[in-house]
Amino acid sequence: MTGAFQRLQESLNEAKIAATHKVNEITTMNEKIVEMWPNKDSVERSGNRLTTDSGTKVYDADHWLKVVDPSTGHHGPSLLEDQIAREKIHRFDHERIPERVVHARGAGAHGYFKLYTPIPEFSSAPVLNDTARSTPVFARFSTVAGSRGSADTVRDVRGFAVKFYTEEGNWDIVGNNIPVFFIQDAIKFPDFVHAAKPEPHNEVPQAQTAHNNFWDFQYLHSEATHMSVWAMSDRAIPRSFRMMQGFGVNTFSLINAQGERTFVKFVWTPELGVHSLVWDEALKLAGQDPDFHRKDLYEAIENGYYPKWRFGIQTVAEKDQDKFEFDILDATKLWPEDLVPVNYIGEMVLNRNVDEFFAETEQVAFCTSHVVPGIGFSDDPLLQGRNFSYFDTQITRLGVNWEQIPINRPVCPVMNFNRDGALNHRIHKGKVNYWPNRFEAVPPASHKQETDSYQEYPARVVGLKLRVNGAKFREHFAQAQLFYNSLAEYEKKHVQAALAFELSHCDEPIVYKRDIDLALAQNVANMVGGDIPKEGRQNHGRKAPGLSQTDLPAIRPSIETRRVAMIIADGFDIGVLTAVRAALKAEGATTWVIGPRRGMIFPTGVDPESGTGGLMADHHLEGQRSTMFDAIFNGRAVHWVREAFGHLKPIGALGDAVSFLQQAVVLPGVDLAADPNSDEVVISYGVVTGWKSSVGILRSLDIEPSTSV
C-alpha cells in the first residue's frame, strides 16, 4: 500500500515538474529561439526512426555486415561494402572541429536584454533607445588558456561574450571579467598567447600561467603589469560565472542621430555581487569537479534562478579624449569610476539553457566587428586587430558560411551577394549574383540617406605611417598601483600568495624586479627565494572605487542557489533536519544530504533492520567534498569541517554536532564558547558565535571575510 502511494506521489511530482518545464519553455522562448526552432523540431521528429543521413530507414545499426558461414555459424571478415556502417564511422571520424585557439572551454545560455534608460544623446541604436524591446541574447563564458577539456576553476581570466540578436543585426560585445588587457597592440597577441599556453617542447602546463614562458613574457612587457595583478587577484578564481563582472575592455564609440561621437566602455555587473573561491578550493575543485562552473550555470537556470547583470556604460566626450593622464584608447588602462562614473542603463537575464552544447555553445561565433548602426569602433590598436581576427578565426573553425549556422544567424533579414563556399545552406533564387543589377532598381548611393543603415563616423585621419603607439601608452605602472592600493587587506594577501605560487613554478623568479608595490615585491621575493628589494617604485597612493570586490556586493544579499551540505549519520534528528532543510529551501538554497554511505540513513527511533523510515543520502562523504558547497550544516566528518572552516564557509551545528565541531576546529584565538542559552554553534569565517538559528548564519553568505587562508 505504502509503495503504491509513494509511486503515485512520484508520478504526480513528475507531472508537476513536466508542467513547470512547459511553462518555463514558453516564458523563455524569444525571437531567436523561435527562429532556430523549426530546425530543432525536424531533428526531434526524425529521431523516431533510425535512418542514414540520406534518409533511408535502417533496421540494424548495431552489427557491421559480415560474411557468415551458415554451416558453422562463424563469421568471416566485415564487408567494406556496408555503406551504413561506413557512413556511421565516417561521420564519427569527422566529429571534431578545431577548438578555439583561446577561450576553448566555455559554457553558454540564452536570455534577453532589456533597456531601462534610453540614451539618444549618445547613440541612435534602437537597442539602446527602445525600452519596449526585449532583445534576445546568447552569452558564452570561458576560461582563456585551457583546452576544451580543461578544468573550470583554474586561475585565469574569464571570457564574457554576449551576442545581441537585434532587429538591426547582430551586435557582439566580446568581453572579459577583467577590465584591462595584457597587451596594447594586437600584433603582440600571438606572442602573448604562445607564452601563456603550454610550452612547445612538452605541452606543459595545461590551463595555467604558472610557468616560465608566461612570466618571461610579463617581464619583457611591462605593459602587462596591470592586468597581471588582476590575474593574480581573486577575480581570476570566480565562485561562479553568475558572480562575475563583464567588461568590453576596448574603447568603442556611440554615434547619435546628429552624427556626433562619444567614446564608450561597456560593463556588466552581476546582481548577485562579485564573489570568488579561495585558491585552495579552486585547486581542489579542478580535480574534484572540473565542470563546477558550467554545472553551476546550468543548474541555476534549470531551477528557475535566472542570473541577471546590469548593463552600464562609461562615456567620454570626444573633446575630452586627451584630458586624462592615461590614453583612453589604451586597453591596459581602465577608466577609474571616480573620474568616469558607470551609468547603468539596462539589464541582461539568462533564462534558458542550450538544447545541444555543440550546435549552440561550441558553434556560436563572436566578432568584435559585429556592431549595429549607432555603435562604432575607436582607434584602440587592440580593437583594430581584434576586428580583423575574429571573423578570420571563425573561417578556420567553422568554415566560410559560419554566419548561416542557426546560433549565429541574425533575426533580421540578410540580403547580399556573398555566395557559395563550403557548406552554403542558402538557396538564392534569381538570375544575378552581383550588385547593382538590372532587377534591383535602388542605386547604392541612395542607401546612404537611410538612417537605419550603418554609417561610419567620418573621423579625420592625417599623419605619418609609423609603427608606434601614443606617448601615454608608455606609462605602465600607475594603474597597477591604483588597482592594488584599492584592494582590501585580505585581497592584497591573496595577490601576494598567488604571485608566490606562480613563481614557485618557475625556474627564474623575476617579479621582484618589476615592483608595483615595495611590500608586495618584498613579500613575494621572500617567499620564492629571490633578492629582496630595499627600494621600490614610488607608490602614488591613490585608490579608486569599484576595483575591490568588497565594493561590489549583491544588490539583494541572498542564499538563493547556494549549495548547503547537510551531513548526517544514523541516529540523526529527522525533525530538526527537515525543518532546517525546509527553511533553507524556502529561501532558494539547494540542500544536499551527505551520509556515511549513499543509501538509507536512519534517524533516532527508527530500527535500521526495518529497512524503512530512513532518509536517502544524495551522496556519501567520500563522493563529494566540502569544496563543492557554500556552507555546511551539522558537520560530522572532521575533514569536511576543517576544510570548510579553512575556506571561510559558514558552518552550522545542532545537538551532538556542537561538541564535535568544537573538537574539530580548535584554532588559537577562536572562541568556542557558544551562547549559553542555546546548544547551537556557528563558526563563520573564523568567528564562533552562538545563534538561536543556524539557518540565519547559513543565509548570510555575504559576510566580509575577517581572515584569509
- Residue from 28, 142, 218, 408 touching ligand HDE (CB under 6 A): that is 142
Determine, following the binding rule CB under 6 A, whether residue 174 of this chain makes contact with ligand HDE.
Answer: yes
Question: Could you give the count of Cα atoms lying within 13 Å of 387 in the half-sphere of its Cβ?
Answer: 16
Alpha helix positions (H), 197-354: 212-220, 225-231, 279-288, 292-302
- Residue from 111, 175, 530, 614 touching ligand HDE (CB under 6 A): that is 175
Residues within window 359-388 making contact with ligand HDE, judged by CB under 6 A: 365-366, 382, 385-386
Of 100 and 699, CB closest to ligand HDE: 100
Residues within window 224-263 making contact with ligand HDE, judged by CB under 6 A: 249-250
- Here's the x/- map for ligand HDE, 387-406, by CB under 6 A: it reads as --xx--xx------------
The amino acid occupying position 177 is N
> Rounded to 5 degrees, what are φ and ψ at 650?
-65, 135
d(CA 247, CA 268): 6
Determine, following the binding rule CB under 6 A, whether residue 150 of this chain makes contact with ligand HDE.
Answer: no
Of 547 and 632, CB closest to ligand HDE: 547
- Residue from 32, 105, 110, 140 touching ligand HDE (CB under 6 A): that is 140
Of 162 and 286, CB closest to ligand HDE: 162
Of 156 and 491, CB closest to ligand HDE: 156
The amino acid occupying position 705 is P
Name every residue whose Cβ is closer than 8 Å to that of residue 398 and which is 6 or more positions away in sequence.
97, 363, 365, 405
| Shortest CB 435 distance to ligand HDE, Å | 29
Name every residue whose Cβ is closer than 8 Å to that of residue 6 and which is 6 or more positions away in sequence.
none
d(CA 595, CA 701): 24
- Residue from 176, 218, 225, 401 touching ligand HDE (CB under 6 A): that is 176
End-to-end CA separation in angstroms for the chain:
54
| Shortest CB 501 distance to ligand HDE, Å | 24
Which residue of this chain has its Cβ atom nearest to ligand HDE in the complex? 159
Calculate the alpha carbon distances from 539 to 16, 147, 437, 479, 483 in Å.
Answer: 61, 38, 65, 10, 12
| Shortest CB 159 distance to ligand HDE, Å | 3
- Find the Cα–Cα–Cα–Cα dihedral 228, 230, 232, 235, rounded to 10°: -150
Determine which one of 30, 103, 539, 647 is catalytic.
103
Cell of 672: 568556542
DSSP string, 523-552: HHHHHHT-PPPSS-PPP-----TT-SGGG-
| Shortest CB 240 distance to ligand HDE, Å | 17
Determine, following the binding rule CB under 6 A, whether residue 650 of this chain makes contact with ligand HDE.
Answer: no
Of 186 and 521, CB closest to ligand HDE: 186
> Which of 132, 158, 134 is closest to 146 using CA atoms?
158
Determine, following the binding rule CB under 6 A, whether residue 102 of this chain makes contact with ligand HDE.
Answer: yes
| Shortest CB 87 distance to ligand HDE, Å | 30
Question: Could you give the count of Cα atoms lying within 13 Å of 92 in the half-sphere of its Cβ?
Answer: 6
* Pair 575, 314: CB distance under 8 Å: no
The amino acid occupying position 463 is G
Of 140 and 235, CB closest to ligand HDE: 140
| Shortest CB 251 distance to ligand HDE, Å | 11
Of 174 and 231, CB closest to ligand HDE: 174
- Here's the x/- map for ligand HDE, 178-197, by CB under 6 A: it reads as ---x----x--x--------
d(CA 123, CA 261): 8
Determine which one of 129, 176, 250, 353 is catalytic.
176
- Here's the x/- map for ligand HDE, 329-358, by CB under 6 A: it reads as --x---------------------------
Residue 434 marked as a ligand binder:
no
> Rounded to 5 degrees, what are φ and ψ at 421?
85, 165
Q: Is 176 a catalytic residue?
A: yes
| Interface segment toward ligand HDE; rule CB under 6 A; list 100-108, 308-316, 410-418, 513-521 | 100-108
Name every residue whose Cβ is closer than 8 Å to that of residue 602 and which is 6 or more positions away in sequence.
570, 571, 608, 613, 614
> Rounded to 5 degrees, what are φ and ψ at 176?
-130, 170
d(CA 106, CA 162): 13
Q: How many residues bind ligand HDE (CB under 6 A)?
A: 27
> Rounded to 5 degrees, what are φ and ψ at 472?
-70, -15
| Shortest CB 375 distance to ligand HDE, Å | 15
Determine, following the binding rule CB under 6 A, whether residue 284 of this chain makes contact with ligand HDE.
Answer: no
| Shortest CB 378 distance to ligand HDE, Å | 13
Of 240 and 558, CB closest to ligand HDE: 240
Of 385 and 406, CB closest to ligand HDE: 385
Calculate the alpha carbon distances from 672 to 313, 452, 536, 686 in Å.
Answer: 48, 68, 43, 10
Peptide bond before residue 458 is cis, with ω within 30 degrees of 0? no
List binding-site positions.
390
List binding-site positions for heme.
390
* Residues near ligand HDE, by CB under 6 A: 100-103, 106, 140, 142, 159, 161, 174-176, 181, 186, 189, 249-250, 331, 365-366, 382, 385-386, 389-390, 393-394
Give the residue numbers annotated as catalytic, written as ranges: 103, 176
